[in-house]
Amino acid sequence: MKKSLVLAMAMALGVTASAYAANPFSDVPAGHWAYDSVAKLAAAGVVDGYADGAFDGDKLMTRYEMAQIVAKAMAKGANVDKLAAEFADELDSLGVRVAKLEKAADNVKITGQARFDYRSADSKWSEKFWGNSAAGLRSRLWITGQVNDNWSYTAMLQNYQNFRDTVADEDTKFKRAYLEGRLGGFDVLAGHWNEFFWNANILDQFVDGVRLTYGEDVKLGVIVGKVTDDGYVPMDGDFYAVNLSSKIGAVDASFNYFNVDDASRNGIAKTFDTAGALTNAGEIDFGKKEVYNINLGLDVAKDLHLSYEYMWGDKKYNEAVSKDGFIARLDYKGAGEEAGSYGIHAQWFDQPINAYLTPTTDATQFNDEGGYEGWNIGVDYTLAKNIQLCVNYYDTEAKAGKSDDQVLYSELYFMF
């Protein structure tokens, strides 16, 4: 290594040599002309010695070794433009290798969510299924791997600890495993995932299969697969769905079709007379079930969004209730990342059992009494960065019976 080169690089780093008192190499003693500069470069991590502790300053370096030193100096903020120009080819080669290593290190990412929940209800219906009060902790770890620029893999582990009883009741499952990518003009999702199917008021269920989506201004989506029995409401059978969505002026609009052949989901259909006496308790055999719905959404004012959904089924699985229903919802603002941000919503729903599959709701559904109708009001509030509180109150009653329930459901989320 030439004297001028060592000194030039040391000055380029812009750090005083007197800060380093230790002798870094056995062949560069304190009185050596290059001691301060070499000590500085070694302390900054720019140059390394050999295994025997020697610097070997008189030994010739390869251009590639010199390019490594220049790259390290540049990373420390040194102004080594002339050296960079001289070793441009070697730096380019080294840069490609470094970029690949950095990309490989970022290929797999882990994110998570912890949620404390508490549910309080009033009715005997709730008490029969989960008690009038329940609490728990749900933890989720999302693992995402980047296959290439077009494809990625996602998996999710979920643990739920039930605080309702006095035993160590917890459950851990591998809940999601799917590939996402683009094939030709289609966005593809394939594997095991939780499908909201663009609208969770009809279906919120785990699916094994393939989802294809095509288009931008007008989107067409198709799902072919099976619903699985590890969902919130057990289902097991062939599943097909179609979605067509677009923005028409100021209105977001979509049409959805669902087809499930669910031989496992049988139940009891109870009907009552006006005095509340049981008149029928026949079995329901859902078998093949088809449901359609139309969704419309509109920003009616600043921070105010109105949405309406109309749904209908193909058969009367419960003769006491209609085949169609609706949900109307009004949202004001919305909780975001900023502490203090919030959202308020209110909705009214009329959901006969004939017109839905497994909807997302924390309200009491009264599936054995024809479905449910009622109202809900809720608020979401960001307490701090990545910490959010959600509180909902539901008041529902059975569509074909006298049962009713009031539910208070709260969730505290921690995202990381």
- Asked if 34 and 17 touch (Cβ cutoff 8 Å), the reply is no
Tokens of 8: 């030039």
Q: Which pLDDT score is estimated for 307? A: 96
Q: What is the DSSP letter of 138?
A: E
pLDDT class of 317 with cuts at 50, 70, 90: confident
Q: Which pLDDT score is estimated for 376? A: 98
Highest mean pLDDT, choosing among 75-84, 90-99, 133-142: 133-142
User: How do residues 286-306 score in pLDDT, each as one tens digit?
Assistant: 678 899 999 999 999 999 999
- Pick from 33-47, 211-225, 282-296, 389-403: least confident: 33-47
Own/partner contacts of 165-174, CB < 8 Å, gap of 24 or more, are: 173/230
Q: State the architecture of 107-415 in CATH terms.
A: Beta Barrel (2.40)
pLDDT class of 320 with cuts at 50, 70, 90: confident
Whether residue 263 has pLDDT greater than 80:
no
Q: Which pLDDT score is estimated for 331? A: 97
Q: Which pLDDT score is estimated for 286? A: 62
Of 185, 192, 108, 212, whose CA–CA distance to 152 is shortest? Answer: 108
Average pLDDT, the chain: 81
- Asked if 292 and 284 touch (Cβ cutoff 8 Å), the reply is no
User: How do residues 344-359 score in pLDDT, each as one tens digit?
Assistant: 999 999 999 999 988 8
Chain centre to alpha carbon of residue 91:
39
E strand map for 15-99:
none
Q: Which pLDDT score is estimated for 73? A: 72
Whether residue 17 has pLDDT greater than 50:
no
CB atoms within 10 A of CB 147: 12
Tokens of 244: 């067509």
Of 287, 378, 292, 365, whose CA–CA distance to 332 is shortest? Answer: 378
352's CB contacts (< 8 A; 6+ apart) are 313, 318, 321, 322, 323, 324, 325, 370, 371, 399
User: How far is residue 291's CA from residue 288's CA, in Å, rounded to a whole number?
Assistant: 10
pLDDT class of 276 with cuts at 50, 70, 90: low
Whether residue 93 has pLDDT greater than 70:
no
User: How do residues 116-167 score in pLDDT, each as one tens digit?
Assistant: 999 998 776 666 655 678 899 999 999 999 999 899 999 999 999 888 765 5
Tokens of 135: 């609490």
Whether residue 277 has pLDDT greater than 70:
no
Report the first-to-last Cα separation within the chain, whole angstroms: 49
Across the range 82-89, mean pLDDT stands at 69
Q: Which pLDDT score is estimated for 52? A: 62
Q: Which pLDDT score is estimated for 396? A: 95
- Pick from 24-33, 97-106, 361-370: least confident: 97-106
Whether residue 65 has pLDDT greater than 60:
yes
Helix (H, G, I), strand (E, B) or coil at 128: helix
- Asked if 366 and 372 touch (Cβ cutoff 8 Å), the reply is yes
Task: Give the angle subtended at the CA of 341 by the CAs of 336 and 347, to the nearest 5°.
Answer: 80
Whether residue 71 has pLDDT greater than 80:
no
User: How far is residue 367's CA from residue 267's CA, in Å, rounded to a whole number?
Assistant: 8
- Asked if 148 and 118 touch (Cβ cutoff 8 Å), the reply is no
User: How far is residue 328's CA from residue 355's CA, in Å, rounded to a whole number?
Assistant: 15
Place of tokens 């029969």: 128
- Predicted model pTM: 0.71
Choice between 91 and 400, residue whose per-residue pLDDT is larger: 400
Q: Report domain extents, the chain.
A: 3-104, 107-415
